[in-house]
Chain A
Amino acid sequence: MSEQQVQEAAFSPAEAQDQPLLSVRHLKIWYELKRFGFLHAGYVKAVDDVTFDLPRGEAIAVVGESGCGKSSLMKAILGLVHPHDGQILFEGKDIWEGGNAAMREYRMKVGYVQQDPYGALPPFMTIRRILEEPLILAGIKDKEERMERVIRSLEEVKVTPPSDFLNKYPHMLSGGQQQRVVIARALIRNPKMLIADEPVSMLDASVRVEILKLLDEVQQERHLSVIYITHDLSTVRYFSKRIFVMYAGKLIEKASTYEILHNPKHPYSWALLNAISDPLAENATKLRDIPPGEPPSLITPPPGCRFHPRCQKAIQGLCEVEVPPHFSVAPNHDVACWLYREEAEA
């Protein structure tokens, strides 16, 4: 099978399952701006009308620059910010329905891997306490069972032998080991879904590969659904089968990893791919073709397509007026760009 067929086959069975694990429907995260503390002064539209499904056992990646709203999207999925509008359905149920008890139960099923491992681990707790705490909160009273699970999870993330690490403090560990402990903590309550927010961006190149491989192993062994949030497209293909590209609060392209890398459609995706260098000496001999400017303000985003001020292919009279809908250019490949309006209709 070619790489493409493997990719396509990989998500068709999941697609066939009746219900996705997580469905996000027309999600809007708007932060209100206030003047003098009480006067309404507009909104920061961090996430604006985002819709997608996360099937069971699949890893997806959300790719975009800083300030494109990917962290807000993650916070909303974790239930840390209340959406302005729209729904987040986990196993068919809205996570905000049912009050605090339901939210607590939901959070038991979700693991979270933070960006900065050192900042994510409390410096005054030993590794044992860090890993034990989620179990105590989950109501496991039996001390021996808790210890057993702590040791098992450390073994799973290959911090071995666990007995050497149980009484250490986070600062005694290397960056890679710290990130492994963060992953162990995220997995210790056997979640169904894992959210990894730039899990490798703070690490050294070689350690980065170790952690990516570990996450990939864990995902496959446990059949976990994973949302991998990153700005670095080059690490994505080692990990997830599907990529969502985000720009200025909107998903602009949804496709398999293979399609994004070999057949990107949106001009912004072209730019992202263009900006990444493979280690080749000839890179030093030419300038890279990068769109000018910076992502727009999310308080007053440009009308129409939000990428049009930087887009070289922008269509006068259309792109700056109307928001492009998602056109389906191929099975499992959607793109929000007016360039494909005819192709999609045909």
Chain B
Amino acid sequence: MVPSDDPRDKALVVEDLVLYFQLTHGIVQAVDHVSFSLDKNRAVVVIGESGCGKTSMGKALTRLLPRNVNRYTGKVFIDGVETMGMDDETYREQVRWVKISQVPQAAMNALNPVLKLKDQVLEPLLLHEKGISMEDAMERVHAVFDFVGVPDGFIERYPFELSGGMRQRVVIAMALITNPAVIVLDEPTSALDVLTQANIYNVLKRIKWEKGTSFVLITHDVATSSELADDVLVMYAGHMMEHSAAEEFFAGPLHPYAKMLMAAVPKLYGEDELQFIPGKPPSLLNPPTGCRFADRCPLAFEKCKLEPPTYRLGNRLVKCWLYEKEADEIVSSPEALAGVSA
């Protein structure tokens, strides 16, 4: 795909996104200067261990933030519109659920237990498409239920009457009904059985192929993330460590952290011995200076005490000193980082 530099042609462009939280005893640097872009009709998966800032990044994109935000800066173009300059009311009216919607973590419990399913799916449509007639709206609800594979009779039911997989489909229907350009999925299948998981990914693939939606998929499950991935973005301790196209990433990740993550994935066949990553991610309250993975990295050397720049190798980005020699160039400006299309 020919990379285009104009942010208006992309589904999502994130430049230098920063999200810090204020706690009584310090500042949590959850998302620290992350830049990337996503072309239309593509999916990027954000992978990393718990506590790496993945969920915070999803929340920063849909601006569903708690009150203790300390710093929230950068530029986010969603479907060609810069949104960080908007005030909350404008964002709510013009962006959230119009251009970007979210399937939250533990989506199975995200439904209101005392509302019928049709009313819950109808709500975003009535709020965001002013003047739509009730008949048209109901028709859309029926269509979207059909699309995600929930039997039509279920729309009169309450959430407790459905299995986990069906509830997950309803939450996806809610995110889909306004036809947003981007859907953020936060761990969409982590609480589900394997067969249900595969079914949900089939639904997501059909949405992508038939509706042209772009996805940001946040997950720690590297194996199932490959079901949807076009691009892979590896996060560690708030930093973006690697950004590659899925084909290249799954064939051979660059960053030592990404390599170790891949070695920890249980596989059905093959002789590989499973490896784990010793230690745990650093606290984001006082993250280490230098490379944040250096403490756990078997390949760490003297230079890792300094923060590595982001190197470009072909269409891939990696933040690691090991690639100093083979890299094509150092990419430092946020615009350039976002411009490199994986």
Query: Which positions in A face B, CB cutoff 8 Å?
Result: 65-66, 174-176, 204-210, 212-213, 231-235, 237-238, 261, 271-281, 283-284, 287-288, 290-291, 294
Contact = CB atoms under 8 A, between A and B. Distances in A.
B229 A284 contact: yes
A233 B194 contact: yes
B195 A290 contact: yes
Nearest to B197: A275
Nearest to B274: A209
Interface string B217-238: 0001111111111100000000
B303 interface: no
Contact of B264 (A205, A276, A287, A291): A205
Interface residues of B, number: 48
Identify which of A208, A284, A290 gathers the most chain B CB atoms within 10 Å of its CB. A284
B269 A261 contact: yes
Nearest to A68: B193
Contacts, number: 122
A288 B194 contact: no
A239 to B, nearest CB: 10
Contact of B274 (A174, A238, A290): A238
B51 to A, nearest CB: 9
Contact of A65 (B194, B223, B264): B194
Contact of A277 (B166, B199, B224, B269): B224
Contacts of A272: 194-195
Chain A contact residues: helix, strand, loop or mixed: helix
A205 B220 contact: yes
A233 B274 CA distance: 15
Interface of B: 43, 49-50, 163-166, 193-199, 201-202, 205-206, 220-230, 246-247, 249-251, 260-262, 264-269, 274-277, 280
B171 to A, nearest CB: 17
B201 A288 contact: yes
Contacts of A276: 194, 223, 268
A280 B165 contact: no
B198 A288 contact: yes
A213 B274 contact: yes
Contacts of A271: 195
Contacts of B50: 175, 204
A39 to B, nearest CB: 23
A279 B248 CA distance: 12
B266 A234 contact: yes
A210 B276 contact: yes
A231 B194 CA distance: 7
Identify which of A276, A279, A280, A281 gathers the most chain B CB atoms within 10 Å of its CB. A279
A-B CB proximity, top 9 nearest: A275-B198, A209-B276, A281-B247, A65-B193, A234-B266, A206-B277, A281-B246, A275-B194, A283-B226
Contacts of A213: 274, 276
A290 B194 CA distance: 10
Contacts of A287: 202, 205-206
B285 to A, nearest CB: 16
Given A261-B268, A284-B205, A206 B198 contact: no
B159 to A, nearest CB: 16
A205 B261 contact: yes
